């Protein structure tokens, strides 16, 4: 945890890059567009590094890596990849930084946080976004029993979705009044899950607490009504079962596992919190990309092909993918547990299985394209909850995004796949016009609108959270 402190130093560093970064951003975008044209006919050279080791956390959204391996996409690029499960997100990130791993399945927030120096400092980039959605929030049976009376019912007696945290609020208040901490688990301080859980809680009027790294407080529990702490994904169900936490936000199959084990009830998916939210990314060090450019493009190609395979023909390959993932060396949970979410459905309360066709999106909706606006959303949440303790200009947000997210690399890989006639151009964004910013997005659970071009305005729009000018 000692890593979370040197904000002062890092800030100086961050301001200094602010000045340097305005140019690279513009440059980055121009490169993004120009490179793909330039590379239209340029063949990609042999990989500089052929033997690679990729890390992952046992979650279904690591699927593109497993599929790229099992379907031979890596080998077709001349890459001999070993895939290794990691104990937790910190170990995984440290592995990539110290070179034990060449790349890894990462939380979207990890490369961003590492690059701005929150937590471990290292310049990590992502040429490939791994998926959309795929997380859910699960509460224990007891908490669910207390929440249920507060939720409106459909004609068939099942709860109306999406379930908001308004129904949880009285439960949390009851805990607080009794002097009992309401503990919840999330997987990492800069994880999507942390921000999603916070978003959901805050939208329901429950304060999830602030971070104050400049004061050495990295617990994220300042002013909190619900206390969030880190638990590695595969341990979520057993931690819930043990009563250490009353709920958690995690990726699959660990919500469905709770249903199967009968120890908890998933109440809301992240699809309902923010429709088609970006989830994991594939992270490598900037140094790696610089040293092994061909390898970088080639591994991106393999991952794009794997992601496409996962979504092809309306998820027709998903059962096969589930079979791969259920192998002990990948996710290893039972086929049924993984299939529950991967094949277009999601089971909430036992027996309440609903169709959520876009619960796991690997390729469609340009899921693999690393949008700057996605990176900026994570930065806004870091600012909202105090992980970024000072105000930053809109440009700073954009600069950081451009430093971490590398659509130029993606475009190069995609263009070569188009040239090789492996994937039609129509499957990708139009690289000649793509700005890297999604149009203002609506579908949030609190009905706010997110425009990646105006991060500060977005930050100011939240009821709970730090706003411009706020400082703890």
Does residue 158 interact with other proteins by CB under 8 A?
no
| Footprint (CB under 8 A) of other proteins, residues 33-52 | 46, 50-51
β-pair partners for 58: none
Does residue 329 interact with other proteins by CB under 8 A?
yes
Query: 173 or 241: whose CB is closer to other proteins?
Result: 241
Q: Which of 8, 170, 243, 262 binds other proteins (CB under 8 A)?
A: 262
Does residue 257 interact with other proteins by CB under 8 A?
yes
CA distance 410 to 96: 20
Q: For other proteins, how many residues bind (rule: CB under 8 A)?
A: 36
Does residue 292 interact with other proteins by CB under 8 A?
no
Q: Which of 133, 164, 326, 360 binds other proteins (CB under 8 A)?
A: 326
CA distance 454 to 395: 9
Residue 72 C-beta-side C-alpha neighbours within 13 Å: 1
Stretch that binds other proteins, among 152-160, 259-267, 289-297, 423-431 (CB under 8 A): 259-267
Residue pair 25/436 in contact by the 8 Å Cβ criterion = no
- Hey, how many other C-beta atoms are within 10 angstroms of the C-beta on 51? 10
Stretch that binds other proteins, among 5-13, 77-85, 197-205, 363-371 (CB under 8 A): 77-85
Q: Where are the strands (E) in 42-123, listed by range?
A: 51-56, 80-85, 103-107
Q: Which two tokens stand for residue 120?
A: 């471990």
Residue 366: enclosing H or E segment and its boundaries? none
CA distance 324 to 330: 8
**Least distance to other proteins, CB of residue 189, Å:** 20
Residue 356: partners with Cβ closer than 8 Å, 6 or more residues away: 269, 271, 341, 344, 345, 346
**Least distance to other proteins, CB of residue 30, Å:** 33
**Least distance to other proteins, CB of residue 281, Å:** 22
- From 102, 110, 130, select the one nearest 280 (Cα to Cα): 130
Stretch that binds other proteins, among 83-91, 120-128, 140-148, 299-307 (CB under 8 A): 83-91
Does residue 331 interact with other proteins by CB under 8 A?
yes
Query: 255 or 276: whose CB is closer to other proteins?
Result: 255
| Footprint (CB under 8 A) of other proteins, residues 86-125 | 86-87, 91, 98, 100
Does residue 243 interact with other proteins by CB under 8 A?
no
Residue pair 107/187 in contact by the 8 Å Cβ criterion = yes
Does residue 290 interact with other proteins by CB under 8 A?
no
Does residue 276 interact with other proteins by CB under 8 A?
no
Does residue 393 interact with other proteins by CB under 8 A?
no
CA distance 292 to 296: 6
Does residue 237 interact with other proteins by CB under 8 A?
yes
Query: 24 or 332: whose CB is closer to other proteins?
Result: 332
Query: 109 or 234: whose CB is closer to other proteins?
Result: 234
Place of tokens 């088609």: 276
Does residue 30 interact with other proteins by CB under 8 A?
no
Phi, psi of 245 (to 5 degrees): -130, 155
Residue pair 266/248 in contact by the 8 Å Cβ criterion = no
Stretch that binds other proteins, among 206-214, 287-295, 330-338, 403-411 (CB under 8 A): 330-338
**Least distance to other proteins, CB of residue 328, Å:** 6
Q: Which of 11, 17, 263, 448 binds other proteins (CB under 8 A)?
A: 263
How wide is the angle at C-alpha 234 spanned by C-alphas 230 and 237, nearest 5°?
85
Kindly give the pairing relationship between strand 264-269 and strand 135-140. Answer: antiparallel
Query: 217 or 334: whose CB is closer to other proteins?
Result: 334
Query: 261 or 353: whose CB is closer to other proteins?
Result: 261
Q: Which two tokens stand for residue 40?
A: 């239209």
CA distance 325 to 42: 35
CA terminus-to-terminus distance, the chain: 20
Q: Which of 107, 333, 409, 459 binds other proteins (CB under 8 A)?
A: 333
Does residue 261 interact with other proteins by CB under 8 A?
yes
- From 468, 278, 243, select the one nearest 373 (Cα to Cα): 278
**Footprint of other proteins (CB under 8 A):** 46, 50-51, 58, 69, 72, 75, 78, 80-83, 85-87, 91, 98, 100, 234-235, 237-238, 241, 257, 261-263, 326-329, 331-334, 337
């Amino acid at each position: 945890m000692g890593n979370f402190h040197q904000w002062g130093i890092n800030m100086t560093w961050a301001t200094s890059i602010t000045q340097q970064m305005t140019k690279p951003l513009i440059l980055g975008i121009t490169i993004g567009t120009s490179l793909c044209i330039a590379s239209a006919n340029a063949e990609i050279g042999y990989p500089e590094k052929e033997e690679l080791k990729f890390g992952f956390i046992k979650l279904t959204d690591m699927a593109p890596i497993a599929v790229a391996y099992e379907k031979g996409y890596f080998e077709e690029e001349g890459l001999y990849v070993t895939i290794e499960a990691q104990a937790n997100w910190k170990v995984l990130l440290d592995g990539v930084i110290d070179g034990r791993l060449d790349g890894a399945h990462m939380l979207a927030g990890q490369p961003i946080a590492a690059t701005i120096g929150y937590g471990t400092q290292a310049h990590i980039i992502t040429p490939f976004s791994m998926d959309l959605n795929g997380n859910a929030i699960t509460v224990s049976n007891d908490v669910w029993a207390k929440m249920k009376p507060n939720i409106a019912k459909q004609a068939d007696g099942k709860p109306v979705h999406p379930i908001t945290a308004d129904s949880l609020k009285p439960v949390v208040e009851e805990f607080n009044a009794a002097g009992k901490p309401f503990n919840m688990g999330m997987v990492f301080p800069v994880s999507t899950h942390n921000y999603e859980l916070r978003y959901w809680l805050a939208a329901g009027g429950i304060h999830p607490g602030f971070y104050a790294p400049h004061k050495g407080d990295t617990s994220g529990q300042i002013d909190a009504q619900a206390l969030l702490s880190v638990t590695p994904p595969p341990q979520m169900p057993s931690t819930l079962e043990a009563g250490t936490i009353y709920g958690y936000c995690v990726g699959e199959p660990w919500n469905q596992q709770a249903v199967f084990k009968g120890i908890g009830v998933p109440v809301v998916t992240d699809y309902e919190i923010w429709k088609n939210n970006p989830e994991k990314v594939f992270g490598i060090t900037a140094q790696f990309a610089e040293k092994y450019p061909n390898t970088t493009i080639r591994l991106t190609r393999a991952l794009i092909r794997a992601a496409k395979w996962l979504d092809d023909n309306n998820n027709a390959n998903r059962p096969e993918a589930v079979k791969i993932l259920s192998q002990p060396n990948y996710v290893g949970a039972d086929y049924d547990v993984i299939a529950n979410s991967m094949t277009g459905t999601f089971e909430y309360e036992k027996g309440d299985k609903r169709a959520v066709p876009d619960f796991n999106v690997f390729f469609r909706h340009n899921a693999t394209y690393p949008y700057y606006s996605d990176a900026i959303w994570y930065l806004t949440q870091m600012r909202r909850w105090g992980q970024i303790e000072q105000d930053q200009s809109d440009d700073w947000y954009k600069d950081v995004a451009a430093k971490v997210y590398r659509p130029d690399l993606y475009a190069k890989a995609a263009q070569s796949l188009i040239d090789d006639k492996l994937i039609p151009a129509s499957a990708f964004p139009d690289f000649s016009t793509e700005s890297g910013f999604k149009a203002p997005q609506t579908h949030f659970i609190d009905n706010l609108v997110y425009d990646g071009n105006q991060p500060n305005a977005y930050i100011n729009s939240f009821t709970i959270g730090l706003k411009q000018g706020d400082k703890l």
